[in-house]
Structure 1
Amino acid sequence: MEELTIRTPADVLSFVGHTLGFWPRESLVCITLSDKHVGATLRVDLPKPGTEISYAQTVAGYLAHDTNAESVLFAVYTSQDEQAGPVKPQATTIAALTGALAERGLSIRDGLLVGNERVSQYDGSPGEGRSIPLTATQSSQINAEFIYRGSTIEPTNRITLPASTKETETTDAVRDRVKALGGLKVGEALEQARARWMDMLDAHSYPDREEIVNLIADLQFPVIRDRLMADIPGIDERMDRILLAQTHDKPQWSRVEWAQQLLLHAYTDSSTKHSAPILTAVGFINWWEGRGSKAHQFLQLALEADPAYHLAKVSDIMIGSGVVAGWNMDKGTAYRNPGLSA
């Protein structure tokens, strides 16, 4: 694919939107740059007052994992952009970030202030007339190219689950299948479950009802659930390293995306009592792909289905503490939106 060139603020915002898959709100977005080439993209919620220094150190630490980075471009997305006065929104945060990056040998190349209706240079004066309407992103060359490649920007980062029949006729079938699996030796049950799962991952169409019932039932057993989740990326390494995204090999991201579609398809046929493992697995996939906010949402939905579901609890604590999937620390293994493959 042809290499793309970012020339204007509208191009930058289009790039950010398509990279994240949604339009940020009350966020700080940072992009690492090396020899005029884009590296990693990081989005985090804006800090709470009084936490700016520790927040900046954390952000700088994440950005420094891009060992090729030379400088950083940032964008502050906030509804406070039209406030009167000389002090810019999040001025303390940006000052702290400048210092934290300098400690790591990085400088800030440029910054943008993105409001509800307009975007301007962060260091620019409101009277200089250098702001442009956000609608300019719709006609930017970058936006047009990404849309052509099949990429879209959602208005928010809120997840939308497919319609679920919830208490369906599959409830009894899953219950019976769980009972049958419980009568097998662990090794035998695991072998059968993995064979079924591999067939689904290798297929090019959604499974039939019986296969879906089997998948939902398989995921009810923690030992099987963990193994099936570890089989998703298609990596032959230790299971714990795969689940925590700390492998040497790159995941097969198209396989990961298909696994998420299969799991969401299974969710539509699962009852509430059986849906927590499915939603937890989807949460892990989103974390692997660098979508911590969406991962948190899926884990919260899993806990709504089963407040005592242990894996969802501990995983949400891990993600909430700021742990980033190891694959996203290296642009050679990090997930990229298919529309951004160039």
Structure 2
Amino acid sequence: MKPSEHLTVRGPEDVLGFIPHSLGYWPSDSLVAMSMHGKRLGATLRLDLPGPRNLADPLEYARRVREYLSADRDADGALLALFTNHGWMEPPGIYQGLLAALETSLDAGGMTVRDAWYVGDDYWRSASCDDRVCCPLPGLPVQVIKDSMLNAEMVYRGSCVGPSPENGARPAAALSRAERAGILAAEDAWAARLDTRRGSREQFSSLLGRWDSVLTGEGVPLSADHAAFLRASLRVPAWRDAVFVMAAAGTQAAMAGAEAFGIFEAGCTLAPVGPADLGHGATDSFDSACAVPGYGEILLGLEPEMPAWDSLNSLDAVLEQLSDCGGASGAAALTGRGWIAWCRGRGSYAAAYLGRALDEEPGYRLAELMIELVRRGTLCGWAARKEAAWRRFEPDAA
């Protein structure tokens, strides 16, 4: 959607109908908090609902919610929705203390809670209304949300609500045994040739060019040989990281980081290899005097000011194809998808992809580091800044 498009929120059912489109799935056992700018909707945050121990003392949880929402610097209000089937059908319910702590914490941060709701599988109702006339128990049917005008308009404009992260991070369709065996055999053959060229500057530059051609659409959909070659390239951690960095910040940053890490060897003069029919793309000429951010700053989303989201979206699609055959290369591809999900501010999807990566390759180091960031609740730098954050779509909702 274009930023100028306008979506009208007519009532709470529209707000609640917008949430699954914003997240990409219907949440469960979740708190969803939305910032507001006057009467306009801002950022959407989803967190697992706290367990019994945190419900007894919810202040730390409430502080964390305020900290996340405060990244939306222009926010002056908030909306809260608790998606759960437990503890709210009979007032006051087990979440009253949590809601009170959230209201106090957010108000202290200048984000007054405008409204709050409970949403279950079958019913939903206001969290603050005790009037049995206007808010009868157990509530209104959830179908009211699914039939809302805003939900219908979102669907009309091309948005859809997909499976949960646990299901959405799984492969949609497995390759046949013969297809998988063919790709893995070709991958091993490419890996043997690439292994002797790990220190080659020419091979590195050629590799980035081939990846660039794929990310710009010249190599999609991938043939089996192309997939095998790209999977083989992901076996080399320095090359894997360079591909991620190039997608977000360009070839200059990828080349500069490789130079800084000293991965090139003057004596490695073997001619670069790769599929003849996989284009070399357009690589930037490397200027060592050009100031570019380092790998660490880019992978944490601290630099550049705005990442190349189109390129990252393309990389995500390519990595989805490359993850199908599993193994160490599949773990690398899934880790890349987890990193992109984290950059997008989609922690649930990030955790699911990274968990799958570790299932494929236990101890895979980058996946371990990334999943620790996700578990700590660390936000990617881009996701924490409204002007840089990824947008699944860009409605102007009011």
Q: TM-score, normalised by structure 2?
A: 0.81
Q: 1:39 aligns with which of 34, 42, 57?
A: 42
Give distance in 1, aligned partners of 2:32 and 2:200. Answer: 46
Residue equivalent to 1:285: 340
Quote the Cα distance in structure 2 between the aligned partners of 1:340 and 1:156.
22
Task: Tell me which structure has the larger Cα radius of gyration.
Answer: 2
Q: Which structure 2 segments of 5+ residues have no match? A: 254-292
1:144-195 superposed Cα distances (whole Å, 9 cap, x missing partner): 1111111111253322313233742121211121111111124333212211
Identity, % of aligned pairs?
Answer: 30
Q: CA deviation at 1:331?
A: 1.7
Q: Which amino acid aligns with 2:147?
A: S
Counterpart Cα distance in 2 of 1:277 and 1:311? 8
Q: Which residue of 2 aligns with 1:261?
A: 317
Match of 1:48 in 2: 51
Preserved contact between residue 81 and residue 114 of structure 1 (Cα < 8 Å): no
Per the alignment, residue 80 of structure 1 pairs with 86
Q: Is the 8 A contact 2:27 2:83 kept in 1?
A: yes
Match for 2:164 among 156, 163, 186?
A: 156
Describe the superposition over 1:192-215 as per-residue Cα deviations: whole angstroms up to 9, x where unpaired: 221111010111532322221111
1:252 to 2:252 alignment: no
**Aligned to 1:233, what secondary structure does the other structure show?**
helix
Check conservation: 2:62, 2:101, Cα contact below 8 A: yes
How many residue pairs align between the two structures? 340
Give the secondary structure class of the aligned counterpart of 1:329.
coil
* 1:27, distance to aligned residue in structure 2 (A): 0.6
TM-score normalised over the length of structure 1: 0.93
| 1:66 aligned residue | 72
Partner of 1:320: 375
Does structure 1 residue 189 correspond to structure 2 residue 203? yes
Tell me, yes or no, if the aligned pair for 1:168 and 1:271 is still in contact at 8 Å. Answer: no
Structure 1 unaligned spans of 5+: none
In 1, Cα distance between equivalents of 2:162 and 2:211: 31
Counterpart residue number, 1:29: 32
Q: Which residue number corresponds to residue 233 of structure 1?
A: 248
- 1:90 alignment partner, one of 90, 95, 99: 95
Aligned to 2:184, which of 160, 165, 171?
171
Q: Is the 8 A contact 2:82 2:118 kept in 1?
A: yes
Letter in 2 for 1:15: F
Structure 2 residue 125 is matched with structure 1 residue 117: no
- Partner of 1:232: helix, strand, or coil? helix
Aligned CA RMSD, in angstroms, stands at 1.9
Q: Which amino acid aligns with 1:188?
A: E
| Structure 1: distance between partners of 2:340 and 2:131 | 42
